[in-house]
Structure 1
């Protein structure tokens, strides 16, 4: 296994790949990444699936079958994506077994048209869980206000959840509380808590992109000095929240009943600013019990020249607070920035889904011609 990524894993960071395709599975590439680069999980989203379908003919036979059966676009999307996720879960099943469910996970997202509908989110999450029928998957649920009670209900049903689209620290705190509430309900229902796992996906580079844009507009030396600091500070303070809430008496009761901690997951970890090191959001977010899901370019970059210099999160909370204090002095409104990022994230979610719908629709028509 690659020495640099082995060091990252040894430091407590689970390395997940933010990409999936049928050809990646059938060619043995995913298995190779697991063996050689220490990949122990996979995350997906509609954009990833749309690209996979556009770039490969690996789906042609199944698309043709779906077209002959008269499948709707939505039904075809479910059939195509759940097959990929099931196959990837099978590839990572040995990791899942070796880590007793801690890793070996593959995530799949509920569609965006249910992101603002609690009950619809719960129903779709249960549908995806049943369709894939693998213990090592996670259902991705956006951390919208409507998504919070959905998280509780889905966890209460014994389903593992990847909470996505988290930006604000206040919202992250509510995500953890939703998870804890779900565990409490699951325990009351007699469900084995040890089989329920969760991660909370906190976005990194998007925070810097938005904050840096505003700092560039201010243009003072003080403002420019703070470029590239907000995303890391936000994640470090989120990790502090996790330490606090999962050391609480409330969680200790659940842990005694077999519950697992919800791990912070660093998402959007490919640097968007070419001035920043391409491994910035990996090497600077190292701590025990977290996940980093990387695009393959970031994964390969870290394998080539990434560095692990011990824990780069714990003990840096005061400095992270100072970053946001300095941003506030410059007039940046933290709450407004995070609200904008969530709104934009949902818009991108919708656009990604529309792209996937268009791609699958076109292929169904072509196969049925």
Structure 2
């Protein structure tokens, strides 16, 4: 073996923890991306799917650690990729088992399904706190000024800072206007939770842009030889990103998927309705959404604490095509992406 093994073991532990946390943070009515009635959340089939999934996660982590400890550290990327594929397959199997149990057990038989909307989220929307984007912009300006004073000809990190600020601003606007997650069983309470959840996501997103640009500022100083590239300086450079990462984890654990763990501002008795079952529009175990009749461009994913594009909208394909073109151009060297060194 060459080099320390513990970073590889830590990476395996992180990937395993990330995959295992998904079902724990998911809404009770969306185990493994399957929509179920609230009264069915304690079904034995769901508990069995969770146990099998968690055992598979643990077994995969043990096997990956054993591979690393035997000396195969040169291609840790393949080990992590294989681990990710295994965990995705385990999630797909759990998803499928619950789908079969729901269908065979007739879990929605006799229920009244509905869709709820909260007009206050349109008349009084959650407005992003744009003041939080100021540090990101100022850091980009400071980095550009230092580069000009230094007389450098390489401004790739400055361009990256500007790109981060612009993309985060666009993403913030898009998420603030995405379709809200309202539960027909508790429309007022779920709308209150979602409002608080959305406010936290938008604020963290804007703050994270500043953290990323702070890291790029220190990286720029290293590239331009304003400061020496030492271990302490490198650690300081990535501290802002670490702080943002910890903040996102803390928020996700506290709020849960779509904010279902948050306390609503007022108590509300449950209605006689269940959230409408629309599994037919979701693919890849609740990660891909395609509904040509839904005008929403962004929808909250059933799996994971973030949003996804509605592939039923032509605009979504234009966005994906633009990303693919940039990736191809970067691969052929037509577009140069910022890279240290």
TM-score by length of 1: 0.23
TM-score by length of 2: 0.24
Q: Which has the higher strand share?
A: 1
